[in-house]
Structure 1
Amino acid sequence: MPGWSMDDDRSDTVVTPSAEFPPLDPAEVDTLRRVGAQWRTGVPRALPVDPTLGRYRSRPAPGRFSRLTPIALFRPEQDDRPEQDDRPEQDDRPERDDRGGRDGLVAAEPANRPDSGLGRRLGRVRRAVLGPPLASAAVLHERMRKLVALPVLSSDLLSSVAYGPEALLTVLVLAGSGALGLTLPLSAGLVLLMVAVGISYRQTIPAYPHGAGSYLVAGDNLGVGAGLTAAAGLMLDYVLTVSVSIAAGMHAVTSALPGLTPFTVPLGVLVILLLLAGNLRGVRTAGNIFVLPTYAFVAAVLGLLVVGYLRAAGRGFAPVAPPVVPATEGLGLLLVLRAFASGAVSMTGIEAVSNAVPAFRPTEWRNARTTLSWMVAMLVVLFAGLTLLIHLTGLVPRPGETLLSQLARVTFPTGPWYAVVQATTALILLLAANTAFNDFPRLLFFMARAGHAPRRFLHLGDRLAFGNGLVALAGTATVVFVAFGGHTEKLIPLYAVGVFLAFTLSQSGMVVHWRRHRGVGWRRRVLVNGVGAVLSGLVLLTAAVAKFTEGAWVVVIAVPLLVLLFHRVHRHYRALHAALALRPPPGGRQPGVRPSRVAAGPPAVSPPAVPPPAVPAPGAGSVEWEEVPQELRHLVVVPVVRLNRASMRALAYAVSLGRPTLAVHLAPEEAEADRFREQWRAWGDHVRLETIVSPYRAVIGPLAHYLAALHAAAPELVLTVVVPEVVLRRPWHRLLHSRTGHRLRRALRALPGVVVTSIPVHVVE
C-alpha cells in the first residue's frame, strides 16, 4: 500500500485476499470522523427500493446482464418476511447468518458467465485447465505440508546438480586435462559454501516467520535501497531460473533424442505455458503435480551413485584417466575463480524456503526450517557424490551430450536404467522452474504491499494464486529463453550475479539484525551469518568480474535500472496516496460554507470573453477537494449533436437532477448552427443552449477547451458532463461508428473538476 514502509507490522503470516484492501490507520479514521461530522445531505435514508433484495421472493431475471455474477442474500429466510413499505429503517438490514457473514449481500457464483456461445466454450476450457474457483476462506487450506513443500521448493535447488558440476568442469577444461585435478578442491569449497549459506538461512527463518526473503531482510536491516537491490537480484534470478531450467531440460531431452534438437525453442515455450497453467491451479494443486518428479529424480540419482560407486570400488576407487583435452586458456587465478562461480549455480533456489514460509502449515517457521535442512542435506549429498563419481570415471564435458548423460551411459551400459535417469533428469529440470513460479509472485506481493511494484500483484486469482505475478514471470522468461535460443551455456554466465547479490545482502542484513536485538546466543548467530555473507560476497565479486564479458554485464546494468524503476513506482503511489488521503475540513470554516470568488446563485453559463485556455494536465491546479455535500455547486453540461432519442434521454436525465443545466452544440459552420437553433426553439427551448462554431470540423478539442474555459471562469463549480452513448450489442458494430462519446470521455478525463456521466441507449439487433 502507498505509504507503507519496511518497518510496518507484518505479524500476520497468512497471505489472504484482504491484503489487497488494507485498512485505514488510526489517523485516517480520526480524519474520517471529522469529515463525517461536516456532512449535511438532507437526503432521506428511506429508499424507493429495498437494497437487500429481501422483499422479492422471486427476483426478476437481469436480462442481457445474466452473464454477471448473481447476488444472494446472507439471510435467505428474509425472503419470507411480509412486505412492508413503512418498516423501521434498521429492519431493512440483515444482521448475521450462520455462515458468519455480517450486514450485506454475497455473490452467489464465483465468476462472470459469458453470454455468447464462444465465451461459454472458452469458459469451460478455462475451468477444465485451471479448475473451479476457490472461495476466499479456502486460503487457510491452500498451504503445504513438509512432504509436499520439499519437492515443490527444492526442485530448482536439487535439479541444479544436473548442470552445476558440468558448469564447473566446462571452465576448468579450458586449461586442459591437467586442470581437472582442481575439481575436488573447488567442489569442497562449494560444499562448504552450501552448508554455510544453508545454516545462515536456518537462522533467518525463525527470525522472520512471516517470510524471510532477501527483500524483506535486507530492507528491514540495511535500508530500503538494499532491499530493492536484493529484490532486483532475486527477480533476475527467478527469471533466469525458468529459462536455464527449461534450457537444461531440453538439452537433456535432446541428448537422448537428438532428432528433437531443431524443436528446442518451441518445445521449451510449450513447457513454460504448461508450468504456468499448473501454477494457476493453486499452490496445493501445483504441489501435488510436482511431488512425484522430484522424488523420482532423487531416487534415480541416488541409484546412479550407488551403482557407480560399487563399480569404482571394484577397481579400488582408482580414477580413470580423462581423455586428453588441449588447453585453450592458461591456468590462472581468474580461470579458477570463474570455475568456482560457475559451479556455484548449484546453489540457486536455496532461498526458496525462506521466501515461502507463509505457505507452510502451522507451525510455519518450524516446518520451513526442517524442510530447508533436508534440502541442503540432499543438495550436498547429490552434488558431492556426482562430482566425485565424475572424477573417478574420468569424464569431461563435450558438445551434444550432458555430463550427467555420459555418466549414466557409463554406469548403466545396458538395460532401461539410462532411460530412467535421463527421463527423470529431463523432467526435474523442466519442472525446476516451478520454484521460481512459487516465489516470484510472492516477492512481487511483498513489494506491491510496500508500494514498490504495481498493486495488481496483490490480487489473488479465483484459484487463490497470484495470477498476475505468474503471468509476468512466464512472459519474461519466455522472452529470455527465445532470445538466447534455449542454450544453457549462454544463460549460465548471467545466473550467479543476481542470486549471490541477494544472498550477500540477506546475510549482511541478518548480521545487523542480531547485533540490533542481541538475544541469547547472538554472537554465534552473527558469526554464522557473517561467514555466509563473506562467502556469498566473494562469489558475487568473482562472478561479476570474471563473467562480466561473458554476459554478466547484463545483470550488472539491469539491477540498478530495476531499482530505479521500483523507486519511480513507489514515488507514484506515494503521490497517489497523498492525493487521495482524507483531509479534515479547514480550520475556522463553518460547516456548509466554503470560500468562493463568485457570489452564490445560479452560475453564469455564457462563454467567457477570454480565449479558452489549454486543457490542463491531470492534477494541475486541481480544486477537487470537496468532500462535504454542501460544498459542491453544480453545472450540468449536455453535448448535443442532433435532436434524437439519445439526446432527449440525456437532457431529461440532466434536468431531473435539479441543477442548472446547459446544452452545447458544435456546428461546422454558421448556417448549420442557425438550423440547429431553429430546431431547438421548435422543441421548446427548455434548456439554455450555447452553440460553438468549429470551422475546421473538430469536435473533441473545441468542446474540451470550452469546458476548461467554463471551469476557469468559475473554479468553484463542478461540471457534470452528461454524454449520450449508443450501446451496441455486437462488437463488430463498433467499426461502423465514430465512438465520439468514448473519445470525449478520454479527453475530459484530464480536466480537474469535471465529472463525465454516460447515458446509454441500447440498440437491440
Structure 2
Amino acid sequence: MNKARSKDRGDEGEPDSGVSRPSDVLPGLDREQLRVLRQVGRQWGRVSPLLGVAHRALPVDPDLGAFPPAADIRPTRFGQLVHITPLGGHASAQAADVAGEIPGSRMGRIARRARRAMLGAPLKSTAVARESMRKLVALPVLSADALSSVAYGPEAMLGVLVLAGTAGLAYCLPIAAAIAFLMLAVGVSYRQTIRAYPHGGGSYIVAGDNLGLLPGLTAAGGLLIDYVLTVAVSIASGIAAITSAVPSLAPAAVPMGLAMIALLLVGNLRGIRQAGALFAAPTYAFILAMFALIISSLADATERGFQPAPTPHLNAAEGLGVLLVMRAFASGSTAMTGIEAISNAVPVFRPARWRNARTTLTWMIGLLIALFAGVVAIVHLSGVIPSSSETVLSQLAHLTFGSGAMYVFVQAATAAVLLLAANTAYNDFPRVLFLLARDDHAPHIFLRQGDRLAFSNGIALLSAAAALVYVVFDGNTNSLIPLYAVGVFLAFSLSQAGMVVHWRRVRTPHWRKSLAFNATGAVLSTLVLITAAITKFTAGAWVALVAIGLFFLLATRIRHHYQTVGTALRLHPDTVEAPDRTLAPAPAPPLTPPHPTAQPEARRTDRDAEEAEEEETPQAIHHLSVVALASLDLAGLRALAYAASLQQPTLALHISPSEEEAQRFRDYWTTWGDHVPLHVVLSPYRAITAPLIHYIEALHRQRPDLTITVILPEIVTQHLRHRLLHSKDATRLRHALRPLPKIVITSVPFHVP
C-alpha cells in the first residue's frame, strides 16, 4: 500500500522522526478519491440500516478504555521496551504468555522457553518507548562511533605511509593536520544541518529533500553500507585490541567476532537501549584512557626535549608520491565516521533539542580532534609503526605503561568502546530502512519500528550483512577500511551539497555564512570521496560502489511495485464493492457472565461440556465481526463489504498512533457515510499489531460467549518475490490469539499484479 510521503521535519515537540506519524501511516485521499468515497457511501446507504440500529445490534461495548498517554510511558532501566497495558483493566488468564502457554511437544516447549529467555517477552506484551537523553548521556552514546575511530583511523593512515619506508612516515603530521581541519569543517557543517533540520537531518533526508530522488537514494545506499561496515570494522578493531593484549587468542579472531555480532543481535532483539550509565561508561572510560595515554606519552617526551624516537629501518615497497599520500589521507579520514550520528538523532535530546544537539556535536568534534591529533603526535614522538600482530594503541600503551593495570585498562576501554560503536549502527540502520520504507523504497516490514517482530527485521538484516562482510574479509581491519571510506564520504558529500541548495532556497538570516560552511564541507568531503574511490578502487572500494548501485536498482524496483499496488488500491467508481443485501443484524444476545473460577471442578466440567454441546448447533453461536482497517482504500472497502454481507453485527476498528491521524480517519469515515460502527484506538506505543491484539482480547473478556471474527484486508501478489514486500498481519494475529477460544482470523484477499 502506498504511504503518503512527508519530510523528516515537523513542529517543535514532534516525536522522534523514527516514529510513524499521521502522514506516514494513513495515506491521504485526494479530491477524486473523496468523491468516489461519497458515491460508494450512497450505495451503502441504500442497503444499510440507520447507524443507531447497527450500534444497538452490537453485542459489546466497543469503548474498552484507552492506553496510557505517551508522556506516561517509561522504558525499563536498561531497555527500550515497555509493557503494553491491557485494555479493560486486566490481562487475559488464558493468553498471559503466548510464547509459553501453547500446548505442544516437550521439545517445542523447550524451544519456546529458550526463545523467550533469549529474545524477551512475546509480541503482544511489549513495544518500544521513546526516550529523551540529557547531554552528558547523549555525548558518549552518540559519539561512540566517531571517537572510537581514533583506535583505527591513525593506524590506517600509517599503514599506507610505511609502504614508502621511513621517508613516508615523515608525512604523518601534515596529513593528520589536514584530516583535523576536515573534521572541523565537516563538524561545523553539521551544526548548520541541525539548525536547518531541528527534527533530524540525515543524509537521505537532506539529499532527497534538496537534490532529488537519485542523490537521496545514493546517500541512503552509502549510509546503509556505512552502518554494515561500522559493525564489521568496529568488531574487527575490538577483537584486534583483545588479541593484542592476549596474543594466544589471535587464531580465534573470526569466531570471536561472529560471537560478538551474535551477542549484539540478541541484545538488540531484546530491546537493549543505548542510553544510561551502562552504555555511557565505555565511551567515558575510552576518553579517560586516551587522555591518560597521550598525557603520559607527552610527559615522557619532555625528558628528551620532544625529539622523536628513532623508528626501525623500513624498506620502501612503493615510491613516495602524490598517489600514496592521497591514499594515506583517505585511509586516515575514516576517523571521521560517526560525525553524522548527532544530526540524525536530534529528537532523542531533551528540549531544546536542536540547541542541545549542537552543543553535544561541538563537544564531540573537539574531543575527536584532540584525541586524533594527540594519538598521531605520540606515535610520531615514540617511533611506533604498524604491526600485523599488535595494534598501534597497544604498542603505545606498552611503551608508556608497561604490561600493568593501566595497559589492561587502555585495551579493555578500547575494546568496549569499539563494541559500543558497533551497537550504534543497530539504532541507525533500522531507522534509515524505516525512512526508505516510508517512501516506498524498502519493504514495508521495516515501516513499523515499534512492533517487535517488524523491528527485528532490520536488526537481523544488519547482523547477517555485517557477519558476511566480517567473514569474507577474515576480520582484518586493514582490508575493511577501503570499503569504509567510500560509503561514509559519499553520504557526507551529498548531505553537505544538499545543505548548500537548502540555504540558497530558504535564505534565512545568516544564510550566506551557513552556505559557506556547508559548501566547504561539501568540497572537502567530495575530494576525500574521489580520492578514496580512485586510490582504493582495486583494494576493495569497488565492492562498495557496486553495492550502492545494486541498492539503487533494488530500491527503484521496490518503489515501482508499490506504485503499481497503490494504483490498484486507488478508489475508482467501477471497482469499489458494496453489499447487495440489506443489513439486518439480529438483536444482541444478553451478556453471559464468565463462570466463577471458584466453582467446584466437577460442576465446572459438566457445565462446560453442556455448553460445548449446545454450540454444536448454528443457533447457539453468536457472532461479532471486527474489521481491522489501516485505510479506506479498495482493499479496506472490500473487507467491509465482505463483513456486511455476512449479516452479522459488525464493528470497524482502526489503530492510530496519534489523535491527528485518528481525526483524519474519522473524517474519511464520515465522508463515506458512517454506515458501520467505528472505534478508533489511540496507540501511544510504536506498535500497531500489539494494541490490536489487546483490543480483541478485551472484547473476548467482555463477551466470552461470542465468536469474534477478525477480518483483515490482505494484499495478494502474483509473484513470489513481491510477497516479502507486504505484511503478514493475519499470520501473526493467528499465532498471538491462538490461546483464546472463539477467535477466528479471516483474510479478504485483494489481488494485485
3-state SS of 2:44 partner = coil
Give the direction of change, closer, same or farther, for the CA distance of 1:564–1:629 in structure 2 (3 Å limit): closer
Q: Which of 6, 11, 22 is 2:26 aligned to?
A: 22
Indicate the residue corresponding to 1:375 in structure 2: 364
Distance 2:410 2:450 in 1: 37
1:565 corresponds to which letter in structure 2?
L
Give the direction of change, closer, same or farther, for the CA distance of 1:150–1:121 in structure 2 (3 Å limit): farther
Distance 2:240 2:457 in 1: 30
**Equivalent residues in 2 for 1:127-146, closer than 5 Å:** 127-132=116-121, 141-146=130-135
Give the direction of change, closer, same or farther, for the CA distance of 1:464–1:359 in structure 2 (3 Å limit): farther
TM-score (norm 2): 0.69
Give the direction of change, closer, same or farther, for the CA distance of 1:242–1:284 in structure 2 (3 Å limit): closer
Moved more, 389-398 or 117-126: 117-126
Indicate the residue corresponding to 1:183 in structure 2: 172
In the TM superposition, what is the alpha-carbon distance from 1:488 to its structure 2 partner? Answer: 1.0
Indicate the residue corresponding to 1:192 in structure 2: 181
**Equivalent residues in 2 for 1:245-284, closer than 5 Å:** 245-282=234-271, 284=273
Indicate the residue corresponding to 1:486 in structure 2: 475
2:362 corresponds to which letter in structure 1?
S
Give the direction of change, closer, same or farther, for the CA distance of 1:563–1:628 in structure 2 (3 Å limit): closer
Distance 1:399 1:100 in 2: 56
Give the direction of change, closer, same or farther, for the CA distance of 1:234–1:173 in structure 2 (3 Å limit): same
Indicate the residue corresponding to 2:568 in structure 1: 579
2:102 corresponds to which letter in structure 1?
D
Q: Indicate whether 1:239 and 2:228 are aligned.
A: yes
Distance 2:301 2:98 in 1: 64
**Equivalent residues in 2 for 1:339-358, closer than 5 Å:** 339-358=328-347
2:19 corresponds to which letter in structure 1?
T
Deviation by residue 1:300-343 (Cα, 9 ceiling, x = unmatched):
11111111111111221111121110101000100000000000
Q: Which of 98, 102, 116 is 1:115 aligned to?
A: 102
2:529 corresponds to which letter in structure 1?
L
Indicate the residue corresponding to 2:204 in structure 1: 215
1:22 corresponds to which letter in structure 2?
L
Distance 1:98 1:294 in 2: 41
Indicate the residue corresponding to 2:41 in structure 1: 36
Distance 2:130 2:450 in 1: 16
- The answer as to whether partners of 2:66 and 2:87 remain within 8 angstroms in 1 is no
Give the direction of change, closer, same or farther, for the CA distance of 1:6–1:23 in structure 2 (3 Å limit): closer
Indicate the residue corresponding to 2:511 in structure 1: 522
2:26 corresponds to which letter in structure 1?
P
- The answer as to whether partners of 1:157 and 1:379 remain within 8 angstroms in 2 is yes
Give the direction of change, closer, same or farther, for the CA distance of 1:470–1:111 in structure 2 (3 Å limit): farther
Q: Indicate whether 1:150 and 2:139 are aligned.
A: yes
3-state SS of 1:325 partner = coil
Give the direction of change, closer, same or farther, for the CA distance of 1:176–1:135 in structure 2 (3 Å limit): same
2:345 corresponds to which letter in structure 1?
A
Give the direction of change, closer, same or farther, for the CA distance of 1:414–1:434 in structure 2 (3 Å limit): closer
Give the direction of change, closer, same or farther, for the CA distance of 1:122–1:536 in structure 2 (3 Å limit): same
Deviation by residue 1:420-460 (Cα, 9 ceiling, x = unmatched):
11111122222221121121111111111111111111123
Deviation by residue 1:131-177 (Cα, 9 ceiling, x = unmatched):
55799998554333322222222111111101111111111111110
In the TM superposition, what is the alpha-carbon distance from 1:362 to its structure 2 partner? Answer: 3.0
- The answer as to whether partners of 2:269 and 2:456 remain within 8 angstroms in 1 is yes
2:553 corresponds to which letter in structure 1?
L
- The answer as to whether partners of 1:165 and 1:383 remain within 8 angstroms in 2 is yes
2:2 corresponds to which letter in structure 1?
P
- The answer as to whether partners of 1:282 and 1:465 remain within 8 angstroms in 2 is no
Deviation by residue 1:704-750 (Cα, 9 ceiling, x = unmatched):
xxxxxxxxxxxxxxxxxxxxxxx9xxxxxxxxxxxxxxxxx99x989
Q: Which of 547, 559, 573 is 1:570 aligned to?
A: 559
Distance 2:457 2:356 in 1: 28
Distance 1:510 1:160 in 2: 26
Give the direction of change, closer, same or farther, for the CA distance of 1:147–1:264 in structure 2 (3 Å limit): same
Structure 2 unmatched runs, 5+: 70-85, 582-633, 646-733, 735-745
Give the direction of change, closer, same or farther, for the CA distance of 1:750–1:147 in structure 2 (3 Å limit): closer
Bigger CA radius of gyration: 1
Indicate the residue corresponding to 2:399 in structure 1: 410
Indicate the residue corresponding to 1:760 in structure 2: none
Give the direction of change, closer, same or farther, for the CA distance of 1:283–1:143 in structure 2 (3 Å limit): farther
Indicate the residue corresponding to 2:2 in structure 1: 2
Give the direction of change, closer, same or farther, for the CA distance of 1:629–1:485 in structure 2 (3 Å limit): closer
Distance 2:124 2:639 in 1: 37
Distance 2:321 2:545 in 1: 24
In the TM superposition, what is the alpha-carbon distance from 1:23 to its structure 2 partner? Answer: 4.8
TM-score (norm 1): 0.68
1:93 corresponds to which letter in structure 2?
D
In the TM superposition, what is the alpha-carbon distance from 1:368 to its structure 2 partner? Answer: 2.0
3-state SS of 1:38 partner = helix
In the TM superposition, what is the alpha-carbon distance from 1:263 to its structure 2 partner? Answer: 1.1
Indicate the residue corresponding to 2:675 in structure 1: none
2:43 corresponds to which letter in structure 1?
Q
3-state SS of 1:248 partner = helix
**Aligned residue pairs: how many?**
574
Distance 1:462 1:124 in 2: 21
1:388 corresponds to which letter in structure 2?
A
3-state SS of 1:584 partner = coil
**Equivalent residues in 2 for 1:720-739, closer than 5 Å:** none
Give the direction of change, closer, same or farther, for the CA distance of 1:282–1:32 in structure 2 (3 Å limit): farther
**Equivalent residues in 2 for 1:323-342, closer than 5 Å:** 323-342=312-331
Q: Indicate whether 1:443 and 2:432 are aligned.
A: yes
Indicate the residue corresponding to 2:608 in structure 1: none
Distance 2:44 2:351 in 1: 47
- The answer as to whether partners of 2:233 and 2:481 remain within 8 angstroms in 1 is yes
In the TM superposition, what is the alpha-carbon distance from 1:480 to its structure 2 partner? Answer: 0.7
In the TM superposition, what is the alpha-carbon distance from 1:29 to its structure 2 partner? Answer: 4.8
Q: Indicate whether 1:512 and 2:498 are aligned.
A: no
Distance 2:424 2:311 in 1: 35
Indicate the residue corresponding to 1:290 in structure 2: 279
Distance 2:406 2:454 in 1: 38
Give the direction of change, closer, same or farther, for the CA distance of 1:502–1:258 in structure 2 (3 Å limit): same
Structure with bigger RCO (C-alpha 8 Å, 6+ apart): 2
Deviation by residue 1:201-233 (Cα, 9 ceiling, x = unmatched):
111012112221000000000001100000001
Indicate the residue corresponding to 2:300 in structure 1: 311
Distance 2:538 2:148 in 1: 27
- The answer as to whether partners of 1:35 and 1:585 remain within 8 angstroms in 2 is no
3-state SS of 2:334 partner = helix
Distance 1:282 1:406 in 2: 37
- The answer as to whether partners of 1:6 and 1:216 remain within 8 angstroms in 2 is no
Give the direction of change, closer, same or farther, for the CA distance of 1:357–1:134 in structure 2 (3 Å limit): farther
- The answer as to whether partners of 1:7 and 1:220 remain within 8 angstroms in 2 is yes
Give the direction of change, closer, same or farther, for the CA distance of 1:523–1:283 in structure 2 (3 Å limit): farther
Indicate the residue corresponding to 1:93 in structure 2: 61
In the TM superposition, what is the alpha-carbon distance from 1:624 to its structure 2 partner? Answer: 9.9
Indicate the residue corresponding to 2:484 in structure 1: 495
- The answer as to whether partners of 1:142 and 1:282 remain within 8 angstroms in 2 is no
Distance 1:98 1:549 in 2: 59
